[in-house]
Amino acid sequence: MALLSTESLTKRYGHVTALDALTVTLEPGILGLVGANGAGKSTLLKILLGLVEPTAGSATLLGFDTGRQGVSLRQYVGYMPEHDCLPTDMSATDFVSHMAQVSGLPRGAARERTAETLRHVGLFEERYREMRGYSTGMKQRVKLAQALVHDPRVMLLDEPTNGLDPAGRDEMLDLVRRTGSEFGISVIMSSHLLGEIERVCDHLIVIDAGRLVQSAPMATFTAATGLLAVEVEGRQEPLAERLAAEGLRVRPEGRFLLVGLAGERTYDLVRDAVVDLGLGLVRIEQRRQTLEELFREPGAVEDRDAVLA
Amino acid sequence: MQSSPDLAAGNIYDLGYRRYQGARLGRRQAVLTIYLQSLRAAFGLGRRPAAKIVPVALVVLALFPAALRLGIAAATDQNIRIVEPANYYSYIQILLALFVAAQAPELVGRDLRNNTRPLYFSRAIRRSDYALAKLVALASAMLFMTALPQVVLYVGNAFAGSHVWPEMRDSAPDLPRIAVSAVALSLFMAAVSLAVAAQTSRRAFAAGGIIALFVFSGTVGGVLVEAGSALWNRLGILISLYDVMRGATFWIFATDPEPESQLGRADLPGPLYAALLAALASLALVLLLRRYMRFRP
C-alpha cells in the first residue's frame, strides 16, 4: 500500500498559490521533501494533517482520506511543527505524557511511553524541569518526542533541524534516521538543506513554487557517475598521456585525474600504468555525485558561460 | 530489535524505543484528557503555587455570604432570611466575574501564547472537541463558585435548626433549582468568558475584556434604567448581563424580585430572561467555535 498519494492537490492563499496541482504517489520509507522557503513544503504537511484544507484535489495518507477521515488518520500520525510549540511552564515529562493521552493512550501507558521516548531522544535529568530554561536542542528533542510518543506509523517532521548548531543538527538527523530505519516508522521530513536530506532519506521529493519537480529514490540522484578519481604522488601528466594512449577518456581536476570508467579493466589499466611510471598511488575511487552538485550544476554552467563570454 | 549482551550491560537503563502494542482509546480519551487537564488548570493544579492563590481565594470568598448567615444563625439562634438561594448569586456576582476573568485566559490563552494548538489539532480530535472540552471544564470549575456555596447553605441551614430532617425535607424543592441555576449560570459565564479570551493571547486584555463585559454592561444598563421611560428601563435591564442572570435565576426559583428593585419595576416575564441567557450563551459558543475553526497554523 502506498504511504501517501495526492491527486491534483492545490492550495491557494488569496492570489498566492502554495501548491499547484501536485500529484504524487510515495511508498513507505524515509522521505525527504526539499524546496526553497515558500515552495509549499509546510503547506503539504499541514494538508496531510488536516490542519489546512486544500483548495482542490485530494490526498491520502496511510490509506485514509486526509479530509474525510482525518480523525481516524491522526491516531497514527506524529507531527513536529517547524516553530516553537511548547508550553514554557510545564516539564517535558508532564507535557509529553499529556500529549500521549491526547493521542489516545491510557494514563499508565502514556507515562511509560513518555519515559522511554524521552530517553530515546536523549533527554535525561532535564526532563523534570520546566521547559522555559531549555536550549533549542532540548526543545527540538521534546518536539520530536511528542510526535513519537504514541508510536505513530508515520511522522511528519517540518524542518526538524531548524535553529540547531552543527552538532545538534547531526544528532537530530541520526535520531530521525535511526527511528525511521530501526523501527519501521515512515518519515516525511522537510528541509531546505539538501545535505540533510541526503544523509537521512532514501527517497527524495523536490517541489518548487508548489509544483512537483522530481520524485525518485535517493540512489538515482547520487548514482555513480561513471568516473574514477585517481590521485597519485608525483606528476599527473605522464599518467594522463599513458591512459589516453590506452583509449580512456581522461581529464585533470585539481589533484585528481578523472578517468572514464570502461568496465572492470579500467582499474587494472590504471594500476599497471601507475606501477610502470613509478608513481605512488594515493587514492582510486569511483566518483559519486552529491545532491548539492546536482542542483547547483545548471547555475554553475551559466556562471562559467558568463565568464567565457 | 537486536540487542547484543555487551550493549545491554553497558546501558542498563536504556531499554530503548519500543513499538507500542497496547490500547488506543482514540478521541474519547483525547477529549477526556483535555477536559481534566483544563479543569485542574482552572484551579492552578499542576502549575506553580502562585497560580492556585486566586481561584482558591475566590472559592473561599464565594462561601462568605453562606458562612455569614450560618454564623448569625448559630450565634443568635435566629434564622434570618436575608441570604436566600434565589439571590445568592447576586451577592457574589463580582466574584463570579473575577473567577472567569482570571481563569478563562488560563485555559485558552496559554495554548494561544505558546502556539500549542497545532499539536492538539494534529491529533485524533476535531477542533470543536477541543473548544467544547475547554468550555465544559471551565463550567465545571465554576460549579465550585455557584453550586458549592448553595449546597453549604442548604446543609448548614438544616443543621442550624433543631430539626435537621424536617428542615431538609421542607427546602428539598430548592435542590433541583439550585442545580439548574448553578449549571445554567456556570455554562453561560464560561461560554461568554471563553469567547472573549480566545480572541487574544494577551492575558491582561482577555481578563480586562471579560470584567468589562460583565461590569460595564451593568453600568450601561443602569444608566438606561435611570433614564426614565418604561421602555428604556426594560432595555437597560436586558443589556445588563448581571440582571439577565438575576432574572433567569428568579424565574428558575419561581420567586418574584422585590417590587421596588430595578428588576421588579421592569416587570418582564421570567422566561424572557432565561431565553436571553440561552441565546447569549449560544452566541458566545458560536464565536468560540468559529475562532478555532478559522485558525490556520
Q: What would the mean pLDDT of A145-156 be, rounded to a whole number?
A: 96
pLDDT digits (tens, 9 = 90+) for B177-211: 999 999 999 999 999 999 999 999 899 999 999 99
- What is the pLDDT, as a whole number, of residue A263? 79
Q: What would the mean pLDDT of A300-304 be, rounded to a whole number?
A: 39
Give pTM, 2 decimals: 0.84
Which residues 89-148 of A are in CB contact (within 8 Å) with B? 89-90, 94, 98-99, 101-106, 109, 113, 116-117, 119-120, 146, 148
Identify the domain containing residue B72 by its residue range: 27-293
Q: What would the mean pLDDT of A12-39 be, rounded to a whole number?
A: 91
Q: Is the pLDDT of residue A197 over 70?
A: yes
Are the CB atoms for B61 and B55 separated by under 8 Å?
A: no
Q: What would the mean pLDDT of A232-259 be, rounded to a whole number?
A: 87
Q: Which of B13, B19, B121 is closest, CB to CB, to A151?
A: B19
Higher pLDDT, A208 or A144: A144
Q: What share of chain A is helix, strand, coil (3-state, %, to 5)?
A: 40, 30, 30
Listed as ranges, residues in chain B with pLDDT below 70 are 1-16, 78-80
* Residue A290: band (very low, low, confident or very high) from pLDDT cuts 50, 70, 90: low
- What is the pLDDT, as a whole number, of residue B181? 97
User: For residue A53, what are the contacts with CB-CB under 8 A and spacing of at least 6?
Assistant: A47, A67
**DSSP sequence for B222-287:** HHHHHH-SHHHHHHHHHH-HHHHHHHHHHHHTT-PPPTTSHHHHH---HHHHHHHHHHHHHHHHHH
- CA dihedral (B202, B207, B208, B212) positive or negative: positive
- What is the pLDDT, as a whole number, of residue B170? 82
- What is the pLDDT, as a whole number, of residue A23? 95
- State whether residue A186 sits within 8 Å of chain B by CB: no
Chain B hits for A148, Cβ within 8 Å: 17
- What is the pLDDT, as a whole number, of residue A294? 60
Would residue B21 count as lying in a domain? no
Q: What is the DSSP letter of A254?
A: T
- What is the pLDDT, as a whole number, of residue A286? 80
**Nearest residue to A153 via CA among B20, B29, B118, B122:** B20
Would residue B271 count as lying in a domain? yes
The CATH number given to A224-288 is 3.30.70.980
pLDDT digits (tens, 9 = 90+) for B39-57: 999 999 988 888 899 999 9
- The owner of cell 428558575 is B252
Q: ipTM value of the model?
A: 0.87
State whether CATH 3.40.1670.10 applies to domain A4-218.
no
- What is the pLDDT, as a whole number, of residue B289? 96
Q: Edge-to-edge strand order for the sheet containing A56-61?
A: A16-26, A4-13, A56-61, A64-65
Residue of B31, B36, B112, B119 to mutate when probing chain A, most A C-beta within 10 A: B119
Q: Copy the grid coordinates of residue A144.
A: 520530536
Percent of residues, chain A, with pLDDT higher than 70: 92
Q: What would the mean pLDDT of A130-140 be, rounded to a whole number?
A: 93
Q: What would the mean pLDDT of A101-105 be, rounded to a whole number?
A: 95
Would residue B153 count as lying in a domain? yes
Residue of A12, A52, A102 to mutate when probing chain B, most B C-beta within 10 A: A102
Q: How far apart are CA A194 and CA A295, in angstroms?
A: 9
One-letter amino acid of A232: V
Q: Is the pLDDT of residue A109 over 90?
A: yes
Tell me how many domains chain B contains.
Answer: 1
- The owner of cell 480530535 is B125
* pLDDT, chain A, mean: 88
Query: For strand A186-191 and strand A211-217, is the pairing parallel, antiparallel, or unpaired?
Result: unpaired
- What is the pLDDT, as a whole number, of residue A224? 63
Q: How far apart are CA A140 and CA A159, in angstroms?
A: 10
- CA dihedral (A154, A158, A160, A161) positive or negative: positive
Please answer yes or no on whether B33 and A102 come within 8 Å at the CB atom: yes
* Residue A307: band (very low, low, confident or very high) from pLDDT cuts 50, 70, 90: very low
Q: Is the pLDDT of residue A173 over 60?
A: yes
pLDDT digits (tens, 9 = 90+) for A66-90: 989 999 999 999 999 999 999 998 9
Grouping H, G, I as helix, E, B as strand and the rest as coil, residue A3 is coil
Please answer yes or no on whether A50 and B122 come within 8 Å at the CB atom: yes
Q: How far apart are CA B134 and CA B137, in angstroms?
A: 5
Q: How far apart are CA B293 and CA A227, in angstroms?
A: 57
Q: What value, to the nearest 5°, has the Cα angle with vertex A54 and ends B33 and A187?
A: 60
Would residue B7 count as lying in a domain? no
Same fold, A4-218 and A224-288: no
Where do the structural domains in chain A lie, given as residue ranges?
A: 4-218, 224-288
